Structure 1
């Protein structure tokens, strides 16, 4: 059975990504894996910590891992790297003396402890001196109830940092920031916040112009080369990406100091178009949160892989474009219709992004549903396009790995 870890970012008050929660899944057939929480966590540890690195190659972010009662008291959590993980105690764990002694021991060893989906009350009072993070599900507990609990227990909670889960809007983000929360989870960062402006900032306008030139049916290489000469850092990104692709996939080395024309000879227009678009997308210097870049890259690759597996109409390239541009309005803070008018895309890509319709839209929708952990709805869309449930996790895993290893450094 194929296994997968869904990864959700955790942000601080400045919208820096400071960690990830890992959620184990072994299928899309049920909301949770068809195995016990103990089995799921054991397999997650084996695959993610013992067999493979967690997260991006250069990423040393904190990893939050859910632990059921039994595995905690058996000491399994203590096998993990103390400097990398936060141990989450599941909400259904019994706060008994045995668990308390386990938490005390882990605290002494230097482990950070989080209470997951915490319900305000006094049942966990004895644990609070050893708890580092308290996670409140703001969809489950009303804001007033959370606020009253925090105000009434300031001394008890003085060692803990508060994390708001399932934050869906920037308004909620601001509200809980004012309540003293320092950490946040949810897809509020992927919602468009359109700002009024007369024109794009220079770096954005330049990148959009380059994206426009490279995405026409027959790109003019002279124009593209002229544009690239105006931005040394962007040119470096593109050349570095090309060299990496050529070396890793075709064994070609010694490819420095080559022109764009030389690269196209080896890679072809389609691949050249792809890496120029990706480099442009990740070059904007004033985007608030860089996690949005990775989300768009994962969407792009997932849509491409899913389309290649399910459609006979040769739409995988357009599916990649649809996924890549599906968050462009969020990244640039401009209406999608306005942006689409500035970039040459196929009618199917435009249809998917502007009207949520057409052959490509189900792939973008499926990616969004999976990101938001809406398993049942994702399963329905997968069925519509002929993608087996088990393949969703498989392809999402491949897409995340591709985005993690992409040799383009985000500009922040």
Structure 2
């Protein structure tokens, strides 16, 4: 466990690039992932870890007011991180999604929900020749990749967007000359971004190193039915830096109405769901010494377990935790039984991890069989006892395979 008295190390938190309005006033910032040591970008790029790291560094490691100057922060999201609940203030965050994220009903419903929650959605890197993209009716901002178009084509796409989607704000990005800026201003764009206006600037800050076991204990505690505020705050007390992150999260939201005097008060303000989201982000981001594919594999198995139990929300939550924690040995290089015994897991999850017993164990075992394409080895009678038929498994497998493809697509250089 980190020593709370040690001075935290200073490292790169992210890069920050301004976004301007038509008067060339800064109205927002985009936050970009950069390696914490200030070195070159990794050859193999994990988009999920990058998003998690930027969000955590902006909202739980730094002074948000200093970073944002009271303006919205744009952050790139992958298909996977888009699905996760977000413990952040919608007024502070603009969700950028890549235009090549596969579109389906689940993504559409998620975007509708996020906008209902107050989040602003931006469609990034738009370079289409027409305006038939399925995301356009569901977003608030479209970022046009100016270098992709000639001047006439750019003006035409702006006009078409204005006519079809008058609610959209149009942001011209990747501008590198005064001539390009003038062209975009004449075309009637609302927002502007690019090296000509301002290059991304590195933001340094004090790094909080969170104990991995403390994160796992917190996730395990949150998986318990009817978990109390006191139990959650006790789990957070395992590592002082978890408490610091929680307090900063409270401070960076509009929910705080008085000074926080205890962790229990902070937990009560934030709530279990947002703390679970914070803990999941931490678990995915702070694995620097492991292959970048490992968190993706763990998350893919967890999602598959959850999809298998899609008809039973309580069972699905336990199945998700069992899938995620089934990779503990690979993360920690320690025996699974030793790790599980140190965590306050629900008994059904412990049995599933160690012996594959019970309904949760049946789902975990099935997920592992599906991963290895061992369809004939699935124990169908166990699944039928919990109301899961072969067609349910096929549908869950299809959804999970789509998730896996999205994970690979977003692990891009």
| TM, length-normalised to structure 2 | 0.42
Which structure exhibits the higher relative contact order, with contacts defined as CA atoms closer than 8 Å and separated by 6 or more residues?
2
| TM, length-normalised to structure 1 | 0.42
